[in-house]
A and B are shown apart, each in its own frame.
Chain A
Amino acid sequence: MSLRSELHDALDEVTPPAPALEGKVTTFVVAHDRRRGIAVLGRARAPWTNRFRGTLTMVAAVLVVVLIGAIILGGRYLRDMSAPPATVNQAELKSLEGRPLNFPVVGPGAQCPATPIAVNRDFGMVIGDGPFYWVNGDLVGTSTWGAWFSASFIYPAPRDGLVLIRAKDLSTGQTTSFAQYPLAPSGVTATGSVVGSDHVLDRTLQMRREAIVQDPSHTRPIDKKGDLPPLTAMYGVPKGSSGCVAFQIDGPGFTENFVVDVSGHL
């Protein structure tokens, strides 16, 4: 069977027929377009404004320039936020960094001791015994250096204190690098010493030794609905790695260890 046929079969399974879709879309577009039309009609300019058009255009142009400047400055500010937060309690961080690492040892050619996936009543499939759960992971991008993955966590315990995330590539024995997840807001901050940089997703990422989840980033809602910021870490696996990565999560009153196997993506 050709790859084309296989893909057709595989994707047809996730494409249920939607015979009414065209009608639904048409109704949706027509309704929204009419609403827009009414709005535009309501905005029709009175003739007396015509004489001010030149001035207003100039004012608008100045506002646009100011806005662009604000966006650039805001972008720099956000980029600066990727740096280790200045408010990290250094004593607390040192204390967590002082906890011994309990990574398994994998002999040459041995199978990766990936932690089994468990089913949690509240969060579905998870890795980890809690309170810090791994709930999702994906390949984010690849580079000449290696591959970058995302790891989404849930930390439902509203307890105070810093959480430290460290990881090790069990095949190479090297410390796994973290970078700030660039695609969406995240309560996880890549921190620790800068060990290099890599270019992926059209961005230059700083590679750091560890990541943290800091109060109140995981306890302070980011919107009026009370949603907490997603906890998405980004970690990199260098070329040549087998993709067997051990994580240690140290937080207030707990230490968790688990191993993920991302060899299928390398």
Chain B
Amino acid sequence: MTSRAVSVVQPATEQSFADLLGPLVQPAYRLACAMLHDAPAAEDVVQEASLIAWRKVGRLDDRSKLRAWFFGIVANECRNARRRTWARAVNVGLPNELSVASAEDPAVSRADLRRALQQLSHEDRLVVVLYFYLDMPLEDVAVVAGTSFAAVRNRLYRAIRRMRPDVDIEEALR
């Protein structure tokens, strides 16, 4: 009886986890920070996503897609975390009208860019973060986002237009 049960369960060891998902923890953390702009929440997201990934990794047929698959789980957890924040309705955001300092100030400019990013939909923000911040090729971004290459490219165009209406798209994509 016992041997049968043990064969079903393959408990994680520190080494097995470190070998498989360890190298992805830091990039996942960067992804979560960029999506949430909240480092403690990002750490929680990475923990939860790692546990989910570890439990489901056996179902992943193609291990070469591990990175994109794991980032997809992280992105989903980010969406859930953001919804939970909303549900509490105590997160006082900074409305647009607060930007009163000079736009010449680099710190203000960076804050404005972050705010513009936060105003994007989850799907658009994910594409921007993966492509520009994690420097992933669009093909991999499409896998994480669970959509086609063309759709990802459209999302990226749309997001850039929203964030920087005056920027040349092709220039920005470089």
Residue numbers of A with Cβ under 8 A of B are 2-4, 6-11, 13-16, 18, 21-22, 24-30, 32-34, 36-37, 40-41, 43-44, 46-47, 114, 117, 123-127, 135-139, 141-142, 150, 152, 154, 183-185, 227, 230-232, 260-265
Complex contacts, B109 vs chain A, CB 8 Å = 6
Contact of B18 with A41 in the complex, beta carbons under 8 Å = no
CB distance from A83 to the nearest CB of B (A): 22
Kindly report which residue of chain B lies nearest to residue A41, judged by CB atoms: B5
Asked whether A34 and B11 contact (CB < 8 A) given A11-B133, A21-B29, the answer is: yes
A26-B43 Cα distance, complex, nearest whole Å: 12
Q: Out of B47, B90, B117, which one reaches A25, CB within 8 Å?
A: B47
How many angstroms from the CA of A265 to the CA of B54 in the assembled complex? 39
Given A3-B172, A22-B22, 17 more pairs with CB closer than 8 A: A2-B171, A4-B172, A6-B109, A7-B128, A11-B30, A11-B33, A14-B38, A18-B43, A25-B50, A40-B5, A41-B9, A123-B92, A125-B92, A127-B95, A232-B86, A263-B96, A265-B96
Within 8 A of A (CB), among B132-149: 132-133, 135
Report the Cα distance A125→B55, complex, angstroms: 42
Q: Which of A28, A34, A114 has the most C-beta atoms of chain B within 10 angstroms of its own C-beta?
A: A28
Chain A: minimal CB distance from B48 (Å) = 9
What separation, in Å, do the CA atoms of A3 and B9 have in the docked complex? 47
Q: Report the bound CA distance from A162 to B13 in whole Å.
A: 57
Known: A40-B8, A136-B92, A261-B96. A15 touches B33 (CB 8 A): yes
Contact B133 A8 (CB under 8 A): yes
User: Quick check: A7 and B86 within 8 Å, CB to CB?
Assistant: no
Q: In chain B between 15 and 39, which residues have their CB closer than 8 angstroms to a CB of chain A?
A: 17-18, 21-22, 25-26, 29-30, 33-34, 37-39
Q: Are B25 and A25 within 8 A (Cβ)? A: yes
- CB < 8 Å neighbour of A22 from B25, B93, B111: B25
Q: Which residue of A lies closest to B87 (CB)?
A: A184
Q: Kindly provide the distance from the CB of A254 to the nearest chain B CB, expressed in whole angstroms.
A: 20
Q: Given the complex, which residues of A lie within 8 Å of B154, measured CB to CB?
A: none
28 A-B pairs whose Cβ atoms sit less than 8 Å apart in the complex: A3-B172, A11-B129, A14-B114, A15-B29, A28-B50, A28-B51, A29-B17, A30-B11, A33-B55, A40-B5, A40-B8, A41-B5, A46-B1, A47-B1, A117-B98, A123-B92, A125-B92, A136-B92, A137-B95, A138-B93, A139-B119, A142-B121, A152-B89, A154-B90, A184-B86, A227-B88, A230-B88, A265-B96
**Taking chain B's interface residues, is the majority helix, strand, or loop, or is none over half, making it mixed?**
helix
- The count of residues in chain B whose C-beta lies closer than 8 Å to any C-beta of chain A is 69
Is the Cβ of B39 less than 8 Å from the Cβ of A137?
A: no
**What's the least CB distance linking A244 to chain B, in Å?**
11
Instruction: Tell me if B174 counts as interface (CB < 8 A to partner A).
Output: yes
Is A3 in contact with B5, judged by CB distance below 8 angstroms?
no
Given A44-B1, A261-B97 in contact, is the A15-B91 Cβ separation under 8 Å?
Answer: no
CB-nearest residue of chain B relative to A11?
B34
Q: Contact check, A14 vs B37: say whether CB atoms are below 8 A apart.
A: yes
Nearest A-chain residue to B16, judged by Cβ:
A30
Q: Please judge, given known A-B contacts A2-B174, A152-B89, A232-B86, whether A138 and B119 are in contact too, CB under 8 Å.
A: yes
Question: Do residues B128 and A32 form an inter-chain contact, with CB atoms below 8 A?
Answer: no
A139 to B82, CA, bound (A): 13
CA distance A32 to B48 in the complex (A): 10
CA distance A44 to B83 in the complex (A): 37
Would A10 and B94 be within 8 Å (CB), given that A15-B29, A34-B12, A230-B89 are in contact?
no
Residue of B nearest to A32 (CB): B51
Residue of A nearest to B1 (CB): A44
| B34 and A232 form a contact (CB under 8 A) | no
Q: For B96, give the chain A residue with the smallest CB separation.
A: A264
Of B8, B113, B171, the contact of A10 (CB 8 Å cutoff): B113
Residues of B within 8 A of A25 (CB): 21, 25, 46-47, 50
